[in-house]
Amino acid sequence: MAAETLARKQELAENVRAVRNRIAAATAAAHRPADSVQLLPVTKFHPASDIALLAELGIRDVAENREQEARAKAEQLPQVRFHMIGQVQTKKANSVARWAHSVHSVDSIKLVDALSRGMELALERGDREDPSLECFVQLSLDGDTSRGGCTSHDADAVIYAIEQAPHLAFAGVMCVPPLASDPDLAFAAAADYVRRWQNQLGRRLNFSAGMSGDMDQAIANGSTLVRVGTAIMGPRPVG
């Protein structure tokens, strides 16, 4: 292994260890087991070689924001599961259905229908082995859907649509705190929504909440999955 590659692997290993320690401390403070929170590194803008190093470190799942970039990396690294956390245009749904293990940004019935059709096509063509695509409904907690997400009222209908789609699975809820908001209050509101649907469906749901800057507050409010970019990958590459 070249010296530069080895140094990068060591850097990533140290960053992963530090984030896992943060998760352990946050879960301990919340009286939860450390393994109740999944770490999902966000690898957008970073090369596939970095993701390959993460795989060598035992990281099987990573998240991406842009469909074209994610698709190219998924083709290079079939041993890694790629999760889509960025906004998905309905015209890109067919492609996303071929490579995504999950989509965290489902926010409309129109997108549900497009992903459902995309899954049927992917399975029919043999482009996908997993017969089910996990879907997280993205909540917009302040009603401003320009940053993605839907209101809790609209999210109810989106969840019903996912539940009816034959090749989609409602996995849980994703949220990003509104700009200039109190993350604790935002995460608490989203957690209440998750609990309501858990009670209604009678099964455990995931709560995708928390990033590098606010994962501690998210975990305190019940997050089961944190999406961490900078704290693991470092600054975005220049150029």
Structural domain includes residue 183: yes
Structural domain includes residue 176: yes
What is the pLDDT, as a whole number, of residue 1? 72
Domain that holds residue 69: 3-233
In terms of Cα–Cα distance, which of 5, 21, 54, 33 is closest to 229? 54
Structural domain includes residue 239: no
We report the CATH number of the domain holding residue 117 as 3.20.20.10
Q: Residues 38, 227: contact at Cβ < 8 Å?
A: no
What is the pLDDT, as a whole number, of residue 105? 97
What is the pLDDT, as a whole number, of residue 145? 72
Q: Which amino acid is at 182?
A: D
Consecutive 10-residue runs of the chain (239 residues): their mean pLDDT?
A: 92 98 98 96 97 98 97 97 96 97 97 98 96 97 80 94 98 91 93 97 97 96 97 83
Domain count for the chain, please give it. 1
Structural domain includes residue 120: yes
CB within 8 A of 44, min separation 6: which ones?
63, 64, 65, 66, 69, 86, 229, 236
What is the pLDDT, as a whole number, of residue 237? 78
Please, what is the angle between helix 67-76 and helix 48-56, to 10°? 50
Structural domain includes residue 84: yes
* Prediction pTM value: 0.95
- Quickly list H helices, 126-179: 152-164
Q: Which amino acid is at 193?
A: Y
What is the pLDDT, as a whole number, of residue 238? 61
Structural domain includes residue 186: yes
Structural domain includes residue 238: no
Helix (H) or strand (E) holding 103: strand 100-106
In terms of Cα–Cα distance, which of 90, 99, 150 is closest to 122? 99
Structural domain includes residue 92: yes
Q: Residues 67, 88: contact at Cβ < 8 Å?
A: yes
